[in-house]
Copies of this chain bind each other. A is one copy, B any other.
Amino acid sequence: MEDFMELRIGVIGTGAIGTEHIERIANKLSGAKVTVVTDVDKPRAEKAAAVCGARIEKDGTGVIASSDVDAVMVTNWGPAHAKSILGSIAAGKMVFCEKPMTTTGADAKKIVDAEIAKGKKFTQVGFMRRYDKGYLQMKEILSSGKTGKPLMIHCAHRNVAKGTEYNTPMSVNDTAIHEIDVLHWLVGDQYVSAQVLFPKQTSLTHKDLRDPQIMILTTESGILIEIEVFVNCQFGYDIKCEVVCERASVELPLASFPSVKQDAKYYTALETDWKYRFIDSYDVEIQDWINNASKGIVKGPSAWDGYLAAVTADALVKAQGSGKIESIATGPCPDFYSC
């Protein structure tokens, strides 16, 4: 392989997820190296740079402008994403951005518009569940034509516990955001309305957090989706998804663990740390991005997907407050994104 075939990546933001991606690229993946990093916290940037032998730029603008950077990875904090992505697009560089793409629908729209103006897709958003083997297998089954059309989806997103900094809107923006992206992709449909129901409150939460919640989304074709979000369930990290079709029901597999018979129980482990359930999909996601970005194309979740997620999340947060059914008006998918 020629050197120029190795994608040179600049990383903006070397916090937890940024550093994980840097280590992933250095130690497990093929065809890329991190050449430049930056972070608002200088020592943190230095630590990350040492992992991969990168040099340090003073800010994101510097990273994007670097001649030894072919593609940009945006892993700074959410409100700063839009600027880094728009800068990369302006510089004509492929960009990977961790979720959420933007913190407002308006910012997301700017990115979509910038790509359309340039006539090229640059942005992939870090919705890694689309790379999870279980969801991919579900999509294959649902696309086989044997199940009939999807009618309903029952989901649950459960975490062991969250601290007092985690509040009611975060149930949407930090938690259900994964279901928001993966479900419309799974059934090839677009959301039109959002509603939130509040079951009995668990005593194991705090005053700023309604927990659990049931979020209800409907799609253009009429599919009804309900997502139980329960972030203090105590018992484990538990992701459920059942798609009920006209002729079949399809359920997401659990994480795989040995079955144990002991102490009058027949059990498998439930994960308690959310990191492990989708750990493999991160590797596949970033390798896929490297491979495609090297060719100047986007095959994963696009800026349009980031925009849909932002608008849908806004509607759910509004519905949390209003108690009403809120509409989700994204407008039709531009031909450019061929949804």
**Residues of A with Cβ closer than 8 Å to B?**
1-2, 25-31, 33, 52-53, 133-134, 137-138, 141, 146-152, 154, 197-204, 212, 214, 216, 221-224, 226, 228, 230, 233-236, 238, 244, 246-272, 280, 287, 291
Most buried by B among A154, A212, A247, A252: A247
**Complex contacts, A233 vs chain B, CB 8 Å:** 244, 247, 249
Extra A-B contacts (19), CB below 8 Å, given A138-B258, A148-B204: A1-B52, A27-B291, A29-B30, A134-B256, A148-B234, A154-B228, A200-B221, A200-B222, A200-B224, A201-B222, A203-B246, A204-B246, A248-B260, A248-B261, A253-B257, A255-B256, A256-B256, A266-B267, A280-B280
Q: Specify which chain B residues have a CB less than 8 angstroms from the CB of A198 in the assembled complex.
A: 224
A133 close to B266 (CB less than 8 A): no
Find out whether the CB atom of A264 lies under 8 angstroms from the CB atom of B253.
no
Q: Which residue in chain B gives the minimum CB-CB distance to A5?
A: B53
Smallest CB gap from A267: residue in B: B267
Q: Say yes or no: A287-B28 contact (C-beta < 8 A), given A134-B258, A200-B221, A251-B259.
A: yes
Chain B residues with Cβ below 8 Å from A201 are 151, 222
Q: A203-B149, A244-B212 are in contact. Are A258 and B262 (CB under 8 A)?
A: no
What is the bound-complex CA distance between A146 and B234, given in angstroms? 12
- Given A152-B214, A249-B260, A262-B247 in contact, is the A223-B199 Cβ separation under 8 Å? yes
A202 nearest CB across to chain B (Å):
5
- Measured between alpha carbons, how far is A259 from B259 in the docked complex, in Å? 14
Contacts of A148 in B (CB 8 A): 202-204, 234
